[in-house]
Structure 1
Amino acid sequence: MPIDETNQLEGSAGIGSGLDLARLKQILSGAEEDNFLYNGLPIFRKAKQFKSAAWARQVGLYPYFRTISSAQDTEVIINGKKVLMLGSNSYLGLTNHPKIKEAARQAIEKYGTGCAGSRFLNGTLQIHVELEEMLAQLVGKEAALVYSTGFQVNLGVISALVGKGDYVIADKSDHASIVDGCNLCQGEFLRFPHRNMEALEQRLQKIDPDAGKLIVVDGVFSMEGDIIQLPEVCRLAEKYRAAVMVDDAHGIGVLGKNGAGTASHFGLTEKVHLIMGTFSKSLASLGGFIAGDFEIIDYLRHHSRALIFSASMSPANAAAVKAAIEIMLAEPERIARLWYNTQKMKEGLLSLGFDLGNSETPILPVYCRDLLTVLRFCKRLQEEGVFVNPVLPPAVPPGNELIRI
């Protein structure tokens, strides 16, 4: 096809001449159409037609699965080069803490490397029970239940609670695990525009007053960095007899008393029926939990398929979380330092003219609002020794492309 010389990528992105920018943008956005007959198994046609990653690799702009050959710390090693890590979720800087690593080693010595079963059967260890008690106390609930991953928590909790005749209502910017949990359940799934409380009330008004209703929201939204208006959510929930579940993956260790999260931040722990959190961010490990009244948690123990039919969280991971919570509680200056660093970075970025949207937290979205600009920016930053995460559709709507710090 003819190439418009003004429509080519060049310069720091390392793209050779002769590449049609419009075509590349179409491919990278997943909008390409291939008119060919696939002679293999029909189920794999989509894999054969998927070309956006291959094209991005070909032109040197592929931003995913970058291999790190060092511990996740403030600096990491990529391709033999030390780079500043601005893409990590390690809010409190605990992923390489010696006390946490030692706790994990001791757990392996005591329990071995795995549980060889699910929590429901032979996979519940004393360390799991101790961790659940610690988590319940941290977030101010009667009981907690630990899952192997945070994603499983939302899948397992929502699908277990929301059945036929029930409704689940979620913010359109909620995490993908919430969306998948809502799609998996047998109830009706309703969504409202991001942080639009008027729209949330409109959804609630249309539901049978006697129907079961669960409002599920992120406490801190993982792409935008803003905080849900939890007081208004709880007010509407009480008015329309709905339960409230908060995904606090990015709130635990960041907001609230002792890092207890968004409900604590607003003084609404008693009004939030279920608090969900993960361990892969502030708490330096892997897994997730749900906390609430004992009866609700006991129901989930016996009905949450994502828990019952999955292997238990490893002893080392559980021990790491326990140690991380102990350090977080003993060293409150870590959270204070997190907020100091956040404000310092935010002021610097704003002074340079960057658009940070409505972020209120340590998640700082640098809006580029163009797919290729994000990819080129990400590549250039790594060349200069800075690791950042590109955020592209469908993680954000087209036109909201950003770099997340």
Structure 2
Amino acid sequence: MYDVVVIGGGPSGATAAEDLARSGHKVAMIDREGRIKPCGGAVPPRLIEEFHIPDSQIVARINTARMISPTQRQVDIPIENGYVGMVDREHFDVFLRERAAKAGADRFTGTYLRFERDGETKNLIYRDKESGEERALACKMIIGADGARSKVAKAEVPGGDKIPYVIAYHEIIEAPETDASYSPMRCDVIYDGAISPDFYGWVFPHGKSASVGMGTGLEGVDLKQATADLRVASGLQDCKTIRREGAPIPLRPMDRWDNGTDVVLAGDAAGVVAPSSGEGIYYAMVGGRVAATAASAYLKTGRAKDLQLARKLFMREHKSVFKVLGAMQNAYYRSDERRERFVSLCHDIDVQRLTFEAYMNKRLVKARPMAHLKIGLKNLAHLTRMISSTRV
């Protein structure tokens, strides 16, 4: 009998499984394995510190972010007093799963089918990858950490079948040895409707390799062609392609993360990807941690209401950031004119500093009220076209 079965072994599921195992619970983790999620791989210092990520998992250290507008305006934003770490999900997810197993979680390879209840008896039914047979794990509750189109969410949590998402696609390529347009210490973010009409494209270094990709929520967009165009625009068309990956990325947190009985969601399954930036690894791991906290409380008290702790704890700390980023995406991603104005706004030194302070520390910075006022006024001026997008 397991206390908890965690469905999914990505950053969220592996974190939940590890935390529960370390706290003395009997935990099983089911993962499909062999699947690598498309991901730029950026992780802030706060993640590295809070989740004890070793240097061996950091494949690159980024000191500059370059914003590129539809007219090819480039704004380089230095990362002061630190760096943004880059991980390769091919190895990072494996590391997290192995760490959860070392902490005491039992690992199974397969896919979730259903959660059966018969009175006091509960069984998680999954299809074993090796044999193809259905198998059961007796448990008290489950954590659904099985991605943006979560089968657990769809079957168990109200609203779980209605999560809005974009489709992300990227290609992992061999990094060029010498190239004036590419830097192994710089992330390029491309705000251009020709690449993505409603999101953005990216070129993110991964040491010996790089992630080049884009995302969109619109039907009819050829993701592979857009990425090919991005590679040409970035001078990377001749680099060897190592692998190609695509997957949905949720656009906003779900209104409810539990079923009020014995299921709680975590990570992409709960919709915790930051608007505007699409950043997900840090928020997935935090989502896994708060899901584990909620599960521990539920197992101790028997109160199903304690499962609500996962969403409450997460939103208490991150709701404001998500709200601001969501407003920024709605304001600036709707047209190339707006994207041009957004990149223009990024010239402002206060915008640069406050943006990266918030990114590095995962909270809105309130220490400089005059800077916030200045940014707010300039933002309003851009949105009302009171100033030209060509002005700094």
Q: Give the TM-score normalised by structure 2.
A: 0.25
Higher strand share: 2
Greater Rg over alpha carbons, structure:
1
